Amino acid sequence: MKIVCDNKVRFLDGVFNNIADIEFVAGREISADTVKDADALIVRTRTICNEQLLKGSNVKFIGTATIGYDHIDTQYCEQNNIFWTNAPGCNSGSVCQYIVSVLTCMAIHYGFELKDKTIGVIGAGHVGAKVIKAAKQLGMNVLVNDPPLQLSGNKDYDFCSLDYLLQQADIVDIHVPYTASGEFATHHLCNEAFISKMKDGAVIINSSRGAVADNQAVLTALTNNKLLTAVLDVWENEPDINRELLNRVYVGTPHIAGYSVDGKANATMQIVRSLSKFFNLGLDNWIPDTRQYPGVSLNYDQMNDYKLVLRSYNVMYDSIKLKTSPEKFEYFRENYPTRRENL
Active site residues: 209, 238, 255
Q: Which residues contact 63 (CB under 8 A, 6 or more apart)?
A: 40, 41, 42, 43, 84, 85, 86, 87, 270, 271, 274, 275
Edge-to-edge order in the sheet of strand 118-122: 141-145, 118-122, 171-174, 202-206, 227-232, 251-252
- Amino acid identity, position 234: V
- Amino acid identity, position 72: I
Q: Which residues contact 69 (CB under 8 A, 6 or more apart)?
A: 84, 86
Q: Residue 20 forms beta bridges with which residues?
A: none
Longest alpha-carbon distance in the chain? 61
Among residues 42, 95, 37, 104, the alpha carbon closest in space to that of 72 is found at 42
Cα 226 to Cα 196: distance, rounded to the nearest angstrom: 8
Cα 333 to Cα 343: distance, rounded to the nearest angstrom: 22
Q: Which residues contact 44 (CB under 8 A, 6 or more apart)?
A: 6, 8, 9, 27, 64, 65, 66
Q: Which helix (H) or strand (E) holds 108?
A: helix 92-110
Is the distance from CB of 212 to CB of 189 less than 8 angstroms? yes
Cα 163 to Cα 110: distance, rounded to the nearest angstrom: 26
